[in-house]
Amino acid sequence: MKNNDRQESKVEFDVNNVGVPNGRYFGMPFDNKECPVVLISVPWDTTVSYSEGAAQGPDAIINASIQVDLYDEKIQDSDKLKIGTDETKIDLGDGEKLLADDYIKLMNIASREKAKKIIDKLSDGKKLTASLIKMQKEVNESSEGLNYLVEQICNSYYKLKKIPGVVGGEHSVAFGAIKAAAANLKRGEKLGILQFDAHADLRESYEGFEYSHASVMYNVVNKINNICSLTQVGIRDFCVEEHNIIKKYSNKKSLSEKFQISSFTDSLISEREFKGENWDTICKDIIKSLPKNVYISFDIDGLEPSLCPNTGTPVPGGLSFAKALYLLRKVAENRNIVGFDLNEVAPAKDGADEWDANVGARLLHKMALLSVVSQK
Ligand SMILES: [Mn+2]
């Protein structure tokens, strides 16, 4: 069976047993109408600069998710939570329809091919030819198309009062999801972003790609209304340009200021711990930097590389699974999680090893669960 072939037969679902593969997350057979949270696969890795594979993330996570135990010792009735899988169909115009994630796969193959030519040329230290500059423009247009599609799909779930969770794909897939989250708040309310990441992703553009994975938070901060803050956790690989942006928007005393970035870098966290502070105290500070409504953008490389060895740009250091989960639980207890994404999960090249997807699936289940229990 092809990974993402949705099975129409709704086999009996038993939470105490291993799931039956049906092309849906966690093997859940439910109608999306019954689900408070719906997961949207966005298999897109057009702008990856180091190692490809994030486009295979959603299918790999779906496969690995079958064996995730749905019981959570801290949350009542956690095993009863119904999680949906997006089934938006894209009309191809001639009466033919395609599932959105299959459509995105095709878009990605075309634009990745172009982007790769540009990246290869640049990494050879050469200048782009006129035809490559034209291609660069086309890649940017495809990225805009992707952003719009993700935004529209997320909007459709907000209309139904459901929480959308986007599964990437490279980190750029978060843009459309965050735009939709910010647009669907109650009047006058603002959104804070909690970003788990090894990288700041605050570059104005990267390799000439306006919607690069390395620029996603720059774009979020500069192109989306209603965002009041960005809180970064686990950052440990960033450039001067990004450092300057962080500095410019930090040191604000309160969230009533126009916009604030709080960067809990990996070294800052380690230093506080080495000097005797515990993770709970640091989590309290992280939560203090967040407004009532929080969108969580989780780049898997925010975790220790041993938990995501095949991700596009792994960096030493990072959060343990337990620390990330503890922080997520604290956010859910104290704030309202309005949307989330998990990105940059990439399976092993030979497909033999499920480890990255296994970690991703477990994290995804916790994020889906906690976003629902956070609703107050
Ligand atoms: Mn990132």
Whether the CB-CB separation of 295 and 194 falls below 8 Å is answered with: yes
Q: What is the pLDDT of residue 17?
A: 80
Does residue 281 sit in helix, strand or coil?
A: helix
Helix axes 57-65, 355-373, angle to 10 degrees: 80
For ligand 1, the distance from its centroid to the CA atom of residue 95, given in whole angstroms, is 38
Residue type, 252: K
For ligand 1, the distance from its centroid to the CA atom of residue 206, given in whole angstroms, is 13
Selection from 55, 145, 103 nearest residue 343 by Cα: 55
For ligand 1, the distance from its centroid to the CA atom of residue 10, given in whole angstroms, is 36
How far is it, in rounded angstroms, from Cα 229 to Cα 260?
5
Strand segments (E) across 139-282: 163-168, 191-196, 227-233, 260-264
Phi, psi of 30 (to 5 degrees): -75, 150
List, for residues 181-215, the tens digit of each pLDDT value.
Answer: 999 999 999 999 999 999 999 999 898 899 999 99
In CATH, the number for domain 32-105+146-373 is 3.40.800.10
For ligand 1, the distance from its centroid to the CA atom of residue 91, given in whole angstroms, is 31
Q: What is the pLDDT of residue 225?
A: 92
For ligand 1, the distance from its centroid to the CA atom of residue 175, given in whole angstroms, is 11
For ligand 1, the distance from its centroid to the CA atom of residue 130, given in whole angstroms, is 30
Contacts of 39 (CB under 8 A, 6+ apart): 25, 83, 84, 85, 86, 165, 166, 167, 364, 368
Q: What is the pLDDT of residue 83?
A: 98
For ligand 1, the distance from its centroid to the CA atom of residue 31, given in whole angstroms, is 32
Selection from 124, 57, 71 nearest residue 344 by Cα: 57
Q: What is the pLDDT of residue 2?
A: 43
Taking only the tens of pLDDT, the chain with its 376 residues reads 344 566 654 556 787 787 778 999 999 999 999 999 999 999 999 998 778 899 999 999 999 999 999 999 999 999 999 999 999 999 988 889 999 999 999 999 999 999 999 999 998 888 999 999 999 999 999 999 999 999 999 999 999 999 999 999 999 999 999 999 999 999 999 999 999 999 999 999 898 899 999 999 999 999 999 999 999 999 999 999 999 999 989 866 544 457 899 999 999 999 999 999 999 999 999 999 999 999 999 999 999 999 999 999 999 999 999 999 999 999 999 999 999 999 999 999 887 789 999 999 999 999 999 999 999 7
* Alpha-helix residue ranges (DSSP H) falling in 169-215: 174-183
For ligand 1, the distance from its centroid to the CA atom of residue 14, given in whole angstroms, is 35
Q: What is the pLDDT of residue 63?
A: 95
For the chain, the domains span 32-105+146-373
For ligand 1, the distance from its centroid to the CA atom of residue 40, given in whole angstroms, is 18
For ligand 1, the distance from its centroid to the CA atom of residue 56, given in whole angstroms, is 17
| Cα first-last separation, the chain | 40
For ligand 1, the distance from its centroid to the CA atom of residue 93, given in whole angstroms, is 35
Q: What is the pLDDT of residue 10?
A: 53
For ligand 1, the distance from its centroid to the CA atom of residue 263, given in whole angstroms, is 14
List, for residues 313-351, the tens digit of each pLDDT value.
Answer: 999 999 999 999 999 999 999 999 999 999 999 999 887
For ligand 1, the distance from its centroid to the CA atom of residue 214, given in whole angstroms, is 6
For ligand 1, the distance from its centroid to the CA atom of residue 217, given in whole angstroms, is 8
Helix axes 174-183, 216-223, angle to 10 degrees: 30
